[in-house]
Structure 1
Amino acid sequence: MTASRSIIPPLLFGVVMTAILMSLGFWQLRRLDEKTTLLAEIQSGIDATPVPLPAEIDPGMKYLPVTVAGQTTGEEILVLSGTKERGGGYNVISAFETEDGRRILLDRGYIEQDYRRTARPPVALSVAGNLHWPQDNNSSTPDPDLNAGIWFARDVQAMANTLDTQPILVVASEVEGEAQGVDPIPVAIEGIPNSHLSYAVQWFLFAATCAGMTAWLIWRIRRRTY
């Protein structure tokens, strides 16, 4: 086989693989644009003017800004949490009875570990926040420690079953009334992953590596042939 014919198979293979890897990189860049636009739309929805809690609610209303008034019942769930500024702590999820008689979940916000056992009796609150169906749990998330009253992820349906509420969660952003040491943690897009740029860089690096290896192999074949 001549040198020109012997380099055709690896050359074709290298060109095809490099093209495929490059196309995957460009696809990730398109996904980056789409995700950036989506996040901007979500942020715009989060920042919109709050409306009274709708009578009918479904997960399609995720992030809808709402207002509710009523009182906590003293029943709560503590979800293991933390902040960069203050370290580990808990999110306080309270059963909340609205003025019109509905019983929902209210994510009041963050407390430090030292305040875990502090009493938080029923208190009247007016809240502005967002409807939310968080996806905190995964296959490695431990089951709640019901004896200690500690959960490791927010699961709206499971929390509603435990506190005997509707499966509706409002995450507080502003609270009027006695906060009882709980600091609101508003819904934010920072927790929504957007890794498409890093994926695109990886695919382009794979493409460059493939092109380099193909060029090196062809150089070796030509050198051996001649």
Structure 2
Amino acid sequence: MRKSILIPLIFGIAGVAVLIGLGKWQVERLARKEAILADIAAHISAPPVALPDAVEPEADRYLPVAVTGQIGDAALRVLVSQKQIGAGYRVISALDTDTRRVLLDRGFIRVSADIPAPPAGEITVTGNLHWPDERLSSTPENDVPGNIWFARDIEQMAEVLETEPVLIVARALSVPEVGVSPLPVDTSGIPNDHLSYAITWFSLAAIWAAMTGVFIWRQVKGGRAA
């Protein structure tokens, strides 16, 4: 009887140890990811600076900036969905300074709403530089003639609006827009699934231990009956 339970006991202990190890590894990764997200959040909310002359997508991602210029009349609509609100569009226009022309994510409008005219004259936009990666294999191609975009493709938008391939996501405007709600950059779009992974591994360890215990109990009970 001892031999009949030795092998399943070894496999049971080994399996539980491996699964607990994977769970602990995910807990460690969770701690590191939360530290990274905290650094990003602090960077996003830091005091704004002037728009750099030479912009680097990696080094300047989330950089808070304050830029003064005029918002162009033309606007692109990027389809998005807001919790408890429903479908709508991000409104993307050109922001024209004295020396540069860049993209501006003005914010959200409902899908049934018309795009409001931008504030007249010069305004100061406070926001963050961003190069969003929103295109998946299942994402439809942008309907440029119909002005319905499914992803913020910076290069393509810059070509249509004749700007630099630089996007400022507005956090606040010196003259608030009526009918447009800013959708500022935050860390909510950065995946952090390590807690759910850790719970999964620990749950599997518990299930493995329970199944091993049941199997050994049946082996012992059967041996006694014999």
TM-score over 0.5 (shorter chain): yes
Residue in structure 2 matched with residue 61 of structure 1 by the alignment: 60
Quick one: distance in 1 between partners of 2:55 and 2:115?
A: 33
Q: Which stretch shifts more, 127-136 or 83-92?
A: 83-92
Quick one: distance in 1 between partners of 2:176 and 2:130?
A: 23
Structure 1 unaligned spans of 5+: none
Query: What's the offset of the Cα at 1:180?
Result: 5.3
Once the two structures are superposed, residues 174-203 of structure 1 have per-residue CA deviations (whole angstroms, 9 ceiling, x without a partner) of: 112362532212111222222221211111
**SS at 2:141's partner residue?**
coil
Quick one: distance in 2 between partners of 1:77 and 1:103?
A: 15
**SS at 1:185's partner residue?**
coil
Amino acid at match of 1:74: D
8 Å CA contact retained: 1:73, 1:123: no
Residue in structure 2 matched with residue 221 of structure 1 by the alignment: 219
Segments of 4+ moved more than 4 angstroms: 117-123
Quick one: distance in 1 between partners of 2:150 and 2:82?
A: 15
Q: TM-score, normalised by structure 1?
A: 0.91
Question: Kindly tell me: are residues 14 and 123 of structure 1, through their superposed partners in 2, closer, same or farther at Cα, counting changes over 3 Å?
Answer: farther
Quick one: distance in 2 between partners of 1:39 and 1:19?
A: 30
Quick one: distance in 1 between partners of 2:85 and 2:214?
A: 53
Query: What's the offset of the Cα at 1:158?
Result: 2.5
Query: What's the offset of the Cα at 1:122?
Result: 7.0
Amino acid at match of 1:112: R
Q: Does 1:76 align with 2:61?
A: no
Quick one: distance in 2 between partners of 1:19 and 1:118?
A: 60
Structure 2 unaligned spans of 5+: none
Question: Kindly tell me: are residues 206 and 178 of structure 1, through their superposed partners in 2, closer, same or farther at Cα, counting changes over 3 Å?
Answer: closer
Aligned with residue 153 of structure 2, among 134, 152, 155: 155
Once the two structures are superposed, residues 84-143 of structure 1 have per-residue CA deviations (whole angstroms, 9 ceiling, x without a partner) of: 3533211001122222x2121110111122323555597532101001111222111111
Aligned with residue 199 of structure 2, among 198, 201, 209: 201
Residue in structure 2 matched with residue 166 of structure 1 by the alignment: 164
Q: TM-score, normalised by structure 2?
A: 0.91
Once the two structures are superposed, residues 10-52 of structure 1 have per-residue CA deviations (whole angstroms, 9 ceiling, x without a partner) of: 1111111111110111111111111111111111111100000
Residue in structure 2 matched with residue 43 of structure 1 by the alignment: 41
**SS at 1:224's partner residue?**
helix
Alignment identity in percent?
46
In the comparison of the two structures, how many residue pairs are matched? 223
Q: Which stretch shifts more, 77-86 or 15-24?
A: 77-86
Residue in structure 1 matched with residue 32 of structure 2 by the alignment: 34
Q: Which stretch shifts more, 103-112 or 76-85?
A: 76-85
Q: Which stretch shifts more, 62-71 or 182-191?
A: 182-191
Quick one: distance in 1 between partners of 2:193 and 2:177?
A: 36
